[in-house]
Chain A
Amino acid sequence: MTTTRLAVRILDKRALTASVFSFTLGAIDEAGADVALPAFDVGAHITVATPGGASRSYSLNNDPADRFRYVIAVRRAPDGRGGSASLVDDTAVGDTLFISEPRNTFPLHAASRYLLIAAGIGITPIRAMLRSILAVGISDVHLVYLTRSVEETAFYDELTDPALAEFVTVYHRAEHNGVPFDFWPLVADPGESAADRRIFCCGPEALQDEIRALTMHWRPSAVHFEDFNGVSAFGELTSPFTAVWHPSGQRIAVSTQETLLDALRRENIEVPSSCESGTCGTCRIRLIAGAALHRDVVLDADEREHYLMPCVSRADAASVDAGTADARSTGERAGDAPTGEAAGHASGAEAAGDASGAEAAGDASAAGANELIVGPLDAQER
C-alpha cells in the first residue's frame, strides 16, 4: 500500500454542499507553529488513511505556493459506507490524520490555450488548474463544469463570480431537460500542437469516454485525463519495470504504455513477432531471472520457468509488493467517480509507486525488485 506516514492535523472542515466537505490539513510542531509540508504541483493528490482503515486518494485543490496547507474536498458516498464516509463522519477539527506525500499523475502541462472539463467532485484538481492558468496571465482558457444542480455544485459561488464569467460555464443537465452539454464547438479545433492547446478532464468514466471519442482528431498527448494510468485495457494491473538484456547487460525501462516487446525494439533488439497477443509463439525469448507475470497462452508451466512471450508478459509487480491488493479493490479517487474508474486510478498510481520503491520479495535470484533478466533464444531453440 501507499505509505501514509505523514501526520497532519485537521485545521478546518466545512461543508461545500450537502455531501461534499472541504478539509484543510496542516502540520503543527510542539510549540504550535506551522511546519512546512512537502511541496506539490497543481494536479497532485495525496492518499489519506481514513479512520475506518481504508486508504483513499484526493486531489489537492489549494494554491501550491502555500507550503503549510493541503486542502482536499471529499464527497461522502451516498450509501454511507467506505473510506469517504468514514473521513466525513468520524473526524473532527483537531484530529490527526496520516497521509502520503503528494504524488502527481495529472500534471498541468504548458500550453497557450486550455479547455478544462470537470464533472462533480472532479472539479477539485481542475479548479486549482484554472487558478494557476489565470495566474500566469493566460486568458484563452475555458472551464466546463458539469453538475446535477446548483445545490450539488461545490465552489458554486466562486466559479459563478462575474469576474470569471468569461472563463467558466457551469452546466446543470437537469436545467436543460436532460440534454447533455454539447462539447463539439469547444473541441472542434485541435490546435496546432500540444504546446498550442490542451484539454484537462476530470470526471466519471462516461465523461472521459465522451471526451476521448470527441477528440480523436487531436494529438492524444494534448488531451489529459485523470485516468486509468497503470491498468491495462484488460483490467489487469500494469506496472513499469526494468528489463535487463542479458547478452549486453543493457537496462531497459518498460513503461506502463508499452510492452516488453516494444521496449526491446525501441532499443534495436530484434525479436520476431506476429500476433502480438500471446497466442502464436513467435516472439519467445529466454527468461533468465526475475518474477514474471505470464499472460500468454502458448507456454506451459515448465516452459514458463525459462521462457517468456514479451508481446504480453511483464515483470510481476505483485511479487514485489503483494500488499497492493487492498488498494486495488478499494481504492477511491476523490470520492464520487464510478467504482471502476476510481479503483483503476488509485490502484495504478499506488502500484506504480510501490513497485519502484518497495524492497524485493520472493526469489528473484539475480534480478532486482521488479526486474526481469531476459535474452535471445539459442540457435537450437529457435
Chain B
Amino acid sequence: MARITHLFRYPIKGLSAQPVSRVSLRQGGGFPGDRMFALARPDGLYSETRFVPLPKRQYFMLMKDERLAGLTTHLDVDTLDLTVRVRGNIVLEANLGTPAGILQLRRFYARVLDLPSDALPVFAQQPGYNFSDSAKASRQLMNSLSFINLASVRDLEQRIGRPVDPLRFRANVYLDGLEPWEERRWFGGEFSAGSVQFRGLEETTRCAATEVDPLTARRDIPLPRLLVEHYGDDVLGFFAEILADGELHIGDEVTVAAQPSVGDALRVGGAPRVGTAPRVGDALAEASDIPFPVVR
C-alpha cells in the first residue's frame, strides 16, 4: 500500500521547504512554484538578460552554504510576500514582487552569507525556468518532480545507525508504504499518484547538500559517502515527469502501472514484486500520521 505522505515546494532555491496539502499539475510542467527564484553569486556568471542554465554552484545553495538552512522562510507564491523567521521571530518581511522588496531580500542575505560589504546576491528569476539542480540537464528534467521513498530513508537510517531527516533530500513528493528501495526497480516505468500519471526519468545522485541538517544548519552526516559505503552508489530518490494533468493530495494512492523487467542496475532492496502493484486500502485514515517534522 503506497501513498503520498508529504508534498513540498521550495520556492527559493536553498531556502525552506513549504508543505502543501494538494497541488494541481500540468502535463510537461513541474511542481508549481518550486525553485521559482534563486540567489546567484554576485561575482558569478548569472546574467538577467543573457541567461543560460548554469551549474548549481553559481547560486547560493546548501551544498556550499549550509547557513541558509538556519532561517525559516515562507513565500506566498501568489502574493510573493516573504517572511523569514529565526526561532519563530520575524526577522524579514518583504514583497518579492517589488524592487524594494527584492533589495531588502538581497541585503538580508548578503548579511547572512557574510558577503563583503559592497556585494549583494543577485535575485535570479527567469520566466519559464526553475532553478532546481537538474534544470541544467534538460528541460524535461527541469519540469519533473522529485520523489523520495521514506522506507528507503528508514533503511538508510538503520544501516548508518542515526536518524536522517527526509527533508535533507528536498523532494517534492514523499511516498510511504513501499518496500525499501523498491522504487529502484520501477522508477523507470510509468506510475500513477492520485489522478496524475507519471513516467520516471532518472534516479537522483546525492550531493553534499544532503550533509546539512535542515534544523540545525550544521553539516553533520556525510550522506553521499555513507550511501556509497552501504549501497554501492550515491542514489536516493528519482525524478518523474507528468504525462497527464491532474491533482495530487496528501494521502493519494500510488500505483505502479507497468513494472519494467527487474532492472539490472538494481543493487539493493528486497525480492522483486513484479505484477503486484502496491495498493492503498485504509491509507487515508493514516494520512495524518506524518512521520517527520516539517515545521519549525
Identify the A interface with B (CB < 8 A): 184, 188, 190, 193, 209, 212-221, 233-234, 273-280, 295-298, 311
B:214-242 near A, CB below 8 Å: 216-225, 227-229, 234
B:54-104 near A, CB below 8 Å: 57, 63-64, 67, 70-71, 84, 86-87, 89, 91-92
A274–B206 Cα distance when bound, in Å, is 10
Q: Which 10 A-B pairs have the closest CB atoms?
A: A216-B70, A277-B208, A277-B224, A233-B219, A279-B224, A217-B91, A275-B207, A276-B208, A297-B228, A279-B234
Q: Could you tell me the dominant secondary structure of chain B's interface residues? A: mixed
Asked if B111 is an interface residue, CB under 8 A from chain A, the answer is yes
Quick check: A277 and B222 within 8 Å, CB to CB? yes
Closest CB in chain B relative to A279 CB, distance in Å: 4
A219–B92 Cα distance when bound, in Å, is 14
Closest CB in chain B relative to A298 CB, distance in Å: 8
Closest CB in chain A relative to B284 CB, distance in Å: 36
Quick check: B67 and A275 within 8 Å, CB to CB? no
Closest CB in chain A relative to B135 CB, distance in Å: 15
B104-118 CB mask vs A (1 if < 8 Å, else 0) is: 000010011010010
Quick check: B86 and A273 within 8 Å, CB to CB? no
Which B-chain residue is minimally distant from A297 (CB atoms)?
B228
Identify the B interface with A (CB < 8 A): 57, 63-64, 67, 70-71, 84, 86-87, 89, 91-92, 108, 111-112, 114, 117, 205-208, 211, 216-225, 227-229, 234
Quick check: A233 and B207 within 8 Å, CB to CB? no
Contact flag A234-B220 (CB < 8 Å), given A213-B87, A276-B207, A277-B225: yes
Closest CB in chain B relative to A322 CB, distance in Å: 24
Residue of A217, A233, A274 touching B84 (CB-CB under 8 A): A217
Quick check: B71 and A216 within 8 Å, CB to CB? yes
On chain B, the residues within 8 Å of A279 by CB distance are 206, 224-225, 227-228, 234
A276–B61 Cα distance when bound, in Å, is 12
On chain B, the residues within 8 Å of A213 by CB distance are 70, 86-87, 216-217
* 28 A–B contacts, CB within 8 A, in A order: A190-B111, A209-B216, A213-B216, A214-B87, A216-B70, A216-B86, A217-B84, A217-B91, A217-B92, A217-B108, A217-B111, A218-B111, A220-B112, A221-B114, A233-B218, A234-B221, A275-B208, A276-B63, A277-B206, A277-B211, A277-B223, A277-B224, A278-B222, A279-B206, A279-B228, A280-B224, A296-B225, A311-B208
On chain B, the residues within 8 Å of A277 by CB distance are 206-208, 211, 222-225
On chain A, the residues within 8 Å of B219 by CB distance are 233-234
Closest CB in chain A relative to B72 CB, distance in Å: 9
Q: Could you tell me the dominant secondary structure of chain A's interface residues? A: loop
A230–B101 Cα distance when bound, in Å, is 38
A133–B228 Cα distance when bound, in Å, is 51
Closest CB in chain B relative to A299 CB, distance in Å: 12
Closest CB in chain B relative to A188 CB, distance in Å: 7
Quick check: B71 and A297 within 8 Å, CB to CB? no
Quick check: B64 and A276 within 8 Å, CB to CB? yes
Which A-chain residue is minimally distant from B115 (CB atoms)?
A219
A216–B217 Cα distance when bound, in Å, is 9
Beyond the given A213-B216, A234-B220, could you list 6 further A-B residue pairs with CB under 8 A, ordered by the A residue number? A188-B89, A213-B86, A217-B92, A217-B111, A221-B114, A277-B225
Residue of A216, A275, A276 touching B112 (CB-CB under 8 A): A216
Contact flag A234-B222 (CB < 8 Å), given A216-B67, A219-B114: yes
On chain B, the residues within 8 Å of A276 by CB distance are 63-64, 207-208
Residue of B64, B220, B223 touching A233 (CB-CB under 8 A): B220
Closest CB in chain A relative to B12 CB, distance in Å: 15
Which A-chain residue is minimally distant from B218 (CB atoms)?
A233
On chain A, the residues within 8 Å of B207 by CB distance are 274-277, 280
Residue of A184, A193, A274 touching B89 (CB-CB under 8 A): A184
Which B-chain residue is minimally distant from A276 (CB atoms)?
B208
On chain B, the residues within 8 Å of A209 by CB distance are 216
A216–B67 Cα distance when bound, in Å, is 7
Closest CB in chain B relative to A344 CB, distance in Å: 13
Closest CB in chain A relative to B71 CB, distance in Å: 5
Residue of A188, A214, A220, A297 touching B114 (CB-CB under 8 A): A220
Which B-chain residue is minimally distant from A235 (CB atoms)?
B220
Which A-chain residue is minimally distant from B234 (CB atoms)?
A279
On chain A, the residues within 8 Å of B111 by CB distance are 190, 217-219
Residue of B89, B205, B218, B220 touching A275 (CB-CB under 8 A): B205
Which A-chain residue is minimally distant from B217 (CB atoms)?
A216
On chain A, the residues within 8 Å of B70 by CB distance are 212-213, 216
On chain B, the residues within 8 Å of A234 by CB distance are 219-222
On chain A, the residues within 8 Å of B223 by CB distance are 277
Quick check: B67 and A220 within 8 Å, CB to CB? yes
A275–B112 Cα distance when bound, in Å, is 24
A19–B234 Cα distance when bound, in Å, is 51
A212–B71 Cα distance when bound, in Å, is 11
Closest CB in chain B relative to A112 CB, distance in Å: 15
A110–B87 Cα distance when bound, in Å, is 28
A273–B223 Cα distance when bound, in Å, is 17
Quick check: B225 and A297 within 8 Å, CB to CB? yes
Closest CB in chain B relative to A225 CB, distance in Å: 13
Closest CB in chain B relative to A111 CB, distance in Å: 14
Contact flag A280-B234 (CB < 8 Å), given A220-B114, A275-B205, A297-B229: yes
A220–B71 Cα distance when bound, in Å, is 13
Which A-chain residue is minimally distant from B223 (CB atoms)?
A277
A119–B64 Cα distance when bound, in Å, is 31
Contact flag A217-B71 (CB < 8 Å), given A276-B208, A279-B234: yes
Closest CB in chain B relative to A115 CB, distance in Å: 15
A278–B53 Cα distance when bound, in Å, is 24
Which B-chain residue is minimally distant from A298 (CB atoms)?
B228
Quick check: B208 and A184 within 8 Å, CB to CB? no
Quick check: B63 and A217 within 8 Å, CB to CB? no
Which B-chain residue is minimally distant from A275 (CB atoms)?
B207
Closest CB in chain A relative to B60 CB, distance in Å: 14
Which B-chain residue is minimally distant from A216 (CB atoms)?
B70
Closest CB in chain A relative to B275 CB, distance in Å: 34
On chain B, the residues within 8 Å of A216 by CB distance are 67, 70-71, 86, 112, 217
